[in-house]
């Protein structure tokens, strides 16, 4: 769709209406009008086609098997019992029978026919969920650490996440009009054309915008990959880390991280992942105002002439931190204070059981690549209907089961085992720390398999880990089907990015806690070459690592790969490397 003039379509969309109403009714095709595929994204709906079926259908002179992906926005990832029951039913009725937990704590349906879209959207609306702004050039699902009950700090942060999400949600009524009421809306120039988007304006943002809140020591949301990140900071008066006194912990404010992002394109050195930079500290009450200031600065300064250079990370990289601080001052009168110290020990999720303040238990379970098929769905339905308070979708495609009576711990364990959820706890740490994006067959941008292939590759890598006796060492392995990096592969201690069917770029050297990007070490290689390289690295790691040294840090210290300082080095050819 790159041939579409997205800026024009956005500003002429009459606050995200476009011609969707007519598109949905065209009986000669399963698709919607090209312009509307841009507009629909803002509604959380992507037009896709089943890529496995492409050739057969082309030969049969049939159009591609157009189908849609719908992304339910879930700020902070909390899904109530009623909501889950609805999602479960809708997946069968209107989608391909699966639910897909995403790397931003949202949930996706795949394989929806155009005719089923309205019913599906009505279904989620009925349980108080929506998909507005789950995609598109607006603020996306606000990420937040998923276990607020573990302490006042977390409770507050989740609360702020919700407020921030509400504050940055587009004002347009188009979503409800088109999907719920299904009315045909007024023509060009009608009132809705003038309907004002106080924060976004007529043309919305130059590009998607992502916000997340991390609570040290966990960097589960990969705060440095967000356009705008917040690191929760505790009151100094109390440096208690002991969870038995969690209620003493108070939220002092947030360190602000700006300008992170993963996406880049093969062979285009001007595109690269970047880590966000810590620009200072704010009080909690300043959060919404600050966020709005940053978002509007990006709205006004972001590069609308080139989508590949439009993300906030480039705006900031081009203009610099002082410029941003100045913008914030002008737009909000906020003076950032010096950043406070913080420490992240890990990215990814902390699996297993934890006890809550009120004595209830929670369990973080591994969902391979976030894909929940019919079988797992059955198990989760039993769990939520019999034992749980609600579900939390983690920032890494996994699930937290909450509010479990200590007495039912065993029952829950048995159900997990019975329905092969998290392999009944038998999954290796390697696997649990792996993450793949969706890629084929639904993603239109995929160049290689990811979700459907990583599990097999991990099995091979598990064998190598076992040979070298490092199978107990968690290592972040992240695979994406293309350089857009939806699984945040440039933050994987081992990263794999699709080039062509069966071929990947291989990356090494990110920090286990998400504070350092990795670097391209092998270009366009197949499985044999990948395994061969990994085998060599594991041999050395097993022999030469220091006590407690993570694989990523080892790979840099031992000189297997040179540390990346600026994102532009991530894909740099060997020749011009330090």
Partner 1 sequence: MAFSPAARQDLEKQLGQWAASLDEHQLQWASGYLAGMASARAGALTEHSRGVASDVATPTVTIWYGSETGNGRGVAERLAADAATRGFSVELASTADVKPRAIAKLDTLLLVMSTHGEGDPPEDAEALHKLVLSERAPRLEKLKFAVFALGDSSYPDFCQTGQEFDRRLAALGATRLMARVDVDVDFEPAEDAWRFELLETLSTELKPVDTAPAPHLQLIRGAAASAESRFDRRRPFQAEVLGISPLTVAPSTSPVHHVELLVEDSGLAWLPGDSLGLWPTNDPQLVEEIIEVTGIDSGYRVQRGEETLPAGEWLSRRLELTQLARPFLDAWAALSDSAELRELLVDREAFSGWVATRQVIDVLRDYPAKVEAEQLIESMRGIAPRLYSIASSPLTGDDEIHLTVKRVGGLDQQSRLRAGVASWQLTESVKPGETVPVYVETNPRFRLPDDPDAPVIMIGPGTGVAPFRAFVQHRQAAGAKGPDWLFFGARNRRTDFLYQIEWQRFLKEGALNRISVAFSRDQSEKIYVQDRLREQGRDVYDWLERGAHVYVCGDGQAMAADVHQALAEVITAHGDKTEDQATDYLESMKQAKRYQKDVY
Q: Which residues bind ligand SRM (CB under 6 A)?
A: 46, 48, 69, 71, 102-104, 106, 108, 140-141, 208, 210, 225, 261-263, 311, 370, 397, 437-438, 442-445, 484-488
Catalytic position from the list 78, 210, 478, 516: 210
Catalytic position from the list 41, 71, 73, 356: 71
Residue choice 102, 476, 480, 571 for contact with ligand SF4 (CB under 6 A): 480
User: Looking at beta carbons only, is 64 or 136 nearer to partner 1?
Assistant: 64
Under the binding rule (CB under 6 A), the answer on residue 417 touching ligand SF4 is no
351-365 burial, b for 16+ CB within 10 Å, e for fewer? beebebeeebbbbbb
> What is the rounded (10 degree) CA torsion for 148, 149, 152, 153?
-30
User: Looking at beta carbons only, is 53 or 417 nearer to partner 1?
Assistant: 53
3-class SS at 332?
A: helix
Residue choice 124, 416, 421, 446 for contact with ligand SF4 (CB under 6 A): 446
Residue choice 481, 492, 495, 514 for contact with ligand SF4 (CB under 6 A): 481
Residue 443 catalytic?
yes
Closest CA to 209 of 308, 311, 316: 311
Residue choice 1, 4, 25, 62 for contact with partner 1 (CB under 8 A): 62
Measured from the CB of residue 63, what is the shortest distance to ligand SF4 in angstroms?
21
Alpha-carbon distance 365 to 356, whole Å?
Answer: 16
Under the binding rule (CB under 6 A), the answer on residue 102 touching ligand SF4 is no
Q: Which does 262 bind (CB under 5 to 8 A by kind): ligand SF4, ligand SRM, partner 1, none?
A: ligand SRM
Q: How far apart are the first and last CA of the chain?
A: 38
Residue 486 catalytic?
yes
Alpha-carbon distance 534 to 492, whole Å?
Answer: 14
Residue 8 catalytic?
no
DSSP 467: H
Under the binding rule (CB under 8 A), the answer on residue 56 touching partner 1 is yes
Q: Which does 65 bind (CB under 5 to 8 A by kind): partner 1, ligand SRM, ligand SF4, none?
A: partner 1
Of 27-35, 248-256, 382-390, 405-413: span binding partner 1 (CB under 8 A): 27-35
Under the binding rule (CB under 6 A), the answer on residue 213 touching ligand SF4 is no
Alpha-carbon distance 538 to 544, whole Å?
Answer: 10
Query: 354 to each of 66, 147, 155, 267, 351, how far by Cα in Å?
Result: 44, 10, 16, 45, 9
Closest CA to 405 of 463, 338, 359: 359
The H-or-E segment that residue 246 falls in is none
Alpha-carbon distance 22 to 554, whole Å?
Answer: 57
User: Looking at beta carbons only, is 113 or 408 nearer to partner 1?
Assistant: 113
143 phi/psi in degrees, rounded to 5:
-85, 150
Measured from the CB of residue 98, what is the shortest distance to partner 1 in angstroms?
20
Under the binding rule (CB under 6 A), the answer on residue 485 touching ligand SF4 is yes
- For residue 140, the Cα-to-chain-centroid distance in whole angstroms is 9
Residue choice 482, 491, 517, 530 for contact with ligand SF4 (CB under 6 A): 482
User: Looking at beta carbons only, is 100 or 356 nearer to ligand SRM?
Assistant: 100
Measured from the CB of residue 544, what is the shortest distance to ligand SRM in angstroms?
33
Alpha-carbon distance 35 to 56, whole Å?
Answer: 27
Catalytic position from the list 427, 486, 488, 499: 486
Catalytic position from the list 144, 264, 363, 437: 437
Q: Which does 53 bind (CB under 5 to 8 A by kind): ligand SF4, partner 1, ligand SRM, none?
A: partner 1
Q: Given its phi and psi angles, is residue 85 left (phi above 0), alpha (psi -120 to 50 degrees) or beta?
A: alpha
User: Looking at beta carbons only, is 93 or 557 nearer to partner 1?
Assistant: 93
User: Looking at beta carbons only, is 58 or 241 nearer to partner 1?
Assistant: 58
Residues 6+ apart with CB under 8 A from 461: 430, 477, 531, 534
User: Looking at beta carbons only, is 383 or 439 nearer to ligand SF4?
Assistant: 439
3-class SS at 255?
A: strand
User: Looking at beta carbons only, is 114 or 432 nearer to partner 1?
Assistant: 114
Under the binding rule (CB under 6 A), the answer on residue 445 touching ligand SF4 is yes
Residues 6+ apart with CB under 8 A from 266: 483, 499, 505, 571
Which two three-digit tokens encode residue 211?
Answer: 């916000």
Using alpha carbons only, how large is the chain's radius of gyration in Å?
23
Under the binding rule (CB under 6 A), the answer on residue 48 touching ligand SF4 is no
Using Cβ positions, the residue closest to ligand SRM within the complex turns out to be: 263
State the number of binding residues for partner 1 (CB under 8 A). 16
Closest CA to 41 of 136, 141, 109, 108: 136
Residue 499 catalytic?
no
Under the binding rule (CB under 8 A), the answer on residue 65 touching partner 1 is yes
Residue 208 catalytic?
yes
User: Looking at beta carbons only, is 103 or 332 nearer to ligand SRM?
Assistant: 103
Per the listing, tokens 């398999």 go with 449
Measured from the CB of residue 72, what is the shortest distance to ligand SF4 in angstroms?
17
β 45-49/277-282 pair status: unpaired
Catalytic position from the list 299, 482, 488, 519: 482
Residue 482 catalytic?
yes
Under the binding rule (CB under 8 A), the answer on residue 27 touching partner 1 is yes
Under the binding rule (CB under 8 A), the answer on residue 59 touching partner 1 is yes
- Cβ atoms of 560 and 535 closer than 8 Å: no
Of 168-176, 379-387, 439-447, 552-560: span binding ligand SF4 (CB under 6 A): 439-447
Alpha-carbon distance 419 to 399, whole Å?
Answer: 15
Residues 6+ apart with CB under 8 A from 101: 107, 367, 370, 371, 372, 393, 394, 397, 398, 399
Which residues are catalytic, by number?
71, 140, 208, 210, 437, 443, 482, 486
Binding site for partner 1 (CB under 8 A): 27-30, 53, 56-63, 65, 113, 115
């Amino acid at each position: 769709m790159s041939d579409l003039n997205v800026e024009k379509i956005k500003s002429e969309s009459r606050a995200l209406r476009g011609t969707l109403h007519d598109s949905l009714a065209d009986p000669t095709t399963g698709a919607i009008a090209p312009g509307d595929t841009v507009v629909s994204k803002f509604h959380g709906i992507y037009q896709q086609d089943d890529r496995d079926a492409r050739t057969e259908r082309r030969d049969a002179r049939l159009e591609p098997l157009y189908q849609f992906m719908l992304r339910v926005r879930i700020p902070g990832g909390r899904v109530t019992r009623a909501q889950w029951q609805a999602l479960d039913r809708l997946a069968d009725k209107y989608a391909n029978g699966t639910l897909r937990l995403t790397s931003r704590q949202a949930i996706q349906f795949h394989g929806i026919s155009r005719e089923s879209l309205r019913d599906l959207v009505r279904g989620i609306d009925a349980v108080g969920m929506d998909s507005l702004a789950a995609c598109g050039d607006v603020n996306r699902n606000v990420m937040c650490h998923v276990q607020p009950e573990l302490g006042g700090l977390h409770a507050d942060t989740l609360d702020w996440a919700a407020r921030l999400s509400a504050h940055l949600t587009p004002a347009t009524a188009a979503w409800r009009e088109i999907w719920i009421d299904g009315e045909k809306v007024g023509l060009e120039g009608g009132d809705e054309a003038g309907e004002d988007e106080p924060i976004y304006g007529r043309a919305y943002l130059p590009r998607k915008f992502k916000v997340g809140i991390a609570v040290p020591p966990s960097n589960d949301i990969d705060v440095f990959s967000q356009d705008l990140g917040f690191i929760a900071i505790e009151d100094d008066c109390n440096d208690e880390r002991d969870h038995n006194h969690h209620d003493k912990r108070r939220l002092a404010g947030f360190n602000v991280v700006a300008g992170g992002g993963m996406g880049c394109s093969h062979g285009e050195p001007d595109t690269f992942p970047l880590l966000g930079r810590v620009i200072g500290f704010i009080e909690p009450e300043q959060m919404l105002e600050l966020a709005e200031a940053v978002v509007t600065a990006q709205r006004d300064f972001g590069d609308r002439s080139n989508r590949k250079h439009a993300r906030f990370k480039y705006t900031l990289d081009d203009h610099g931190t002082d410029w941003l601080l100045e913008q914030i001052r002008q737009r909000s009168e906020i003076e950032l204070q010096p950043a406070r110290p913080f420490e992240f020990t890990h990215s990814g999720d902390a699996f297993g059981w934890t006890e809550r303040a009120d004595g209830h238990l929670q369990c973080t379970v591994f969902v391979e690549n976030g894909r929940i098929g019919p079988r797992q769905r059955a198990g989760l339905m039993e769990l939520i209907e019999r034992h749980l308070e609600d579900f939390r979708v983690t920032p890494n495609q996994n699930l937290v089961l909450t509010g479990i009576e200590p007495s039912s711990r065993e029952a829950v364990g048995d159900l997990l085992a019975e329905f092969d959820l998290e392999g009944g706890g038998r999954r290796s740490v390697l696997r649990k720390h792996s993450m793949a994006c969706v890629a084929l067959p639904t993603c239109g941008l995929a160049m290689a398999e990811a979700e459907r292939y990583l599990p097999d590759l991990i099995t091979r890598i598990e064998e190598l880990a076992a040979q070298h006796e490092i199978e107990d060492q968690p290592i972040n392995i992240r695979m994406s089907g293309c350089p857009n990096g939806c699984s945040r592969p440039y933050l994987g201690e081992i990263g794999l990015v699709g080039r062509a069917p069966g071929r990947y770029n291989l990356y090494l050297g990110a920090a286990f806690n998400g504070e350092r990007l990795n670097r391209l070490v092998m270009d366009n290689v197949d499985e044999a070459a990948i395994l061969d390289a990994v085998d060599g690295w594991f041999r050395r790691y097993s022999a030469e690592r220091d006590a407690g040294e993570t694989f990523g840090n080892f790979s840099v210290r031992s000189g297997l790969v040179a540390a990346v300082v600026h994102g532009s080095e991530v894909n740099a050819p060997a020749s011009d490397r330090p």
